Amino acid sequence: MTLFNRRQKQDAQVDFQNLPRHIAIIMDGNGRWAKKRNMPRSYGHGVGAETFRTIATYCKEIGLEYLTVYAFSTENWKRSQEEVGAIMGLLKKYLLEAIGQMERDRVKMEFFGDLSALTPELQELCEQTREISKRYDGCQVNICLNYGGRDEIVRAAKAYAQDCLEGKADPNHLTEERFGGYLFSKGVPDPELIIRPSGELRLSNFLPWQSAYSEFYFTDVLWPDFDKEELHRAIAAFQHRSRRFGGV
Ligand code: IPE
Ligand code: IPE
Ligand code: MG
């Protein structure tokens, strides 16, 4: 048996007719991946961005409806100026390339997070990407940038309170669904599956509201090494879970 055959045999069995509608990924482990190679952390972020491109394209190919990725958190500003600068530089490069290839890839892109903290140039690129995306349907990729789950909830609460003050909303009629309409994720179904590579077993402020009933898949693989096979393993694991939502 060739190595290729053996690999294929070990590949997880995914039922592509029954995919979750929405998968979310915490793209973690870029820094450690680079460190293992005696390279600067920014090198890991660059390779991680390529992994994102590969996985996003593949998710579209298999017919996934929504992919949400954690790219930069509200806490990631604590990192060195050099690292933050490198990440923002990669983001600009990625968006410029994405805009150039959108007609070909036809992936719809959205952004969750407070973009006002980004440079005007980056904000403009995000806006452009969003605008072009309106022409497409099919897979929607949500990129979480300067995103924090608690920040998202506080913002929603503020906007809701403002609507109450202006007489546009009434607290007696507030439901979970209505409140969800104030979140960045407005209109997007909750992720059924959340994947975190890099061996960390935490959410790190990612989608606390939306993950109430998500299934979690943790793997030691570092994000730059994450590939289709690893995605298959995560989906196959998800497909073997018994989701009860509080019932029996
Ligand atoms: C994730 O990789 C990317 C961002 C948080 C921007 P990390 O940079 O957190 O990589 P590790 O966790 O230090 O290995
Ligand atoms: C979460 O990873 C944020 C992103 C992947 C963008 P972190 O590396 O920032 O999380 P912690 O610090 O390990 O919790
Ligand atoms: Mg990390």
Handedness of CA 223, 227, 228, 231 (dihedral sign): negative
CA of 235 to the centre of ligand 2 (A): 22
* H/E segment holding residue 195: strand 193-196
Fold annotation for 3-7+18-148+191-239:
Undecaprenyl pyrophosphate synthetase (3.40.1180)
Average pLDDT over residues 21-36: 98
* Closest-lying ligand 1 atom to the alpha carbon of residue 26: 1
Length of the chain: 248
- How does the average pLDDT of the chain come out, rounded? 95
| Per-residue confidence (pLDDT) for residue 94, from 0 to 100 | 96
Single-letter amino acid code for the residue at 99: I
| Per-residue confidence (pLDDT) for residue 4, from 0 to 100 | 53
221 lines ligand 2 (CB under 6 A): no
**Residue 101 — pLDDT band, cuts 50, 70, 90?**
confident
**Residue 108 — pLDDT band, cuts 50, 70, 90?**
very high
| Per-residue confidence (pLDDT) for residue 138, from 0 to 100 | 86
Q: How far apart are CA 171 and CA 181, in angstroms?
A: 14
Handedness of CA 76, 78, 79, 83 (dihedral sign): positive
What's the N-to-C CA distance of the chain in angstroms?
A: 45
Q: How far apart are CA 22 and CA 195, in angstroms?
A: 11
214 lines ligand 1 (CB under 6 A): no
Average pLDDT over residues 10-15: 88
Name 18's Cβ contacts closer than 8 Å, sequence gap at least 6: 239
**Residue 3 — pLDDT band, cuts 50, 70, 90?**
low
76 catalytically annotated: yes
Q: Which of 45, 55, 112, 200 to mutate to test the pocket of ligand 2 (most atoms within 8 A of CB)?
A: 200
Could you tell me if 139 and 107 are in contact, meaning their C-beta atoms sit under 8 angstroms apart?
yes
pLDDT tens digit string along 52-77? 999 999 999 999 999 999 999 999 99
137 versus 31: the higher-pLDDT residue is 31
Maximum Cα–Cα distance across the chain: 71
| Per-residue confidence (pLDDT) for residue 9, from 0 to 100 | 53
**Residue 49 — pLDDT band, cuts 50, 70, 90?**
very high
pLDDT tens digit string along 113-156? 999 999 999 999 999 999 999 998 889 999 999 999 999 999 99
Could you tell me if 218 and 201 are in contact, meaning their C-beta atoms sit under 8 angstroms apart?
yes
Q: How far apart are CA 90 and CA 145, in angstroms?
A: 13
| Per-residue confidence (pLDDT) for residue 137, from 0 to 100 | 85
Average pLDDT over residues 174-203: 98
Percent of the chain with pLDDT over 90: 90
142 catalytically annotated: no
Average pLDDT over residues 154-171: 98
Neighbours of 82 (CB within 10 A): 11
The protein residue whose alpha carbon is closest to atom 8 in ligand 2 is 28
222 lines ligand 2 (CB under 6 A): no
The pair of structure tokens assigned to 12 is: 């997880």
Neighbours of 175 (CB within 10 A): 8
CA of 127 to the centre of ligand 2 (A): 25
31 lines ligand 1 (CB under 6 A): yes
* H/E segment holding residue 148: none
Please compute Rg for the chain using Cα positions: 19
CA of 29 to the centre of ligand 3 (A): 5
Residue ranges covered by each domain of the chain: 3-7+18-148+191-239
What DSSP character marks residue 147? Answer: E
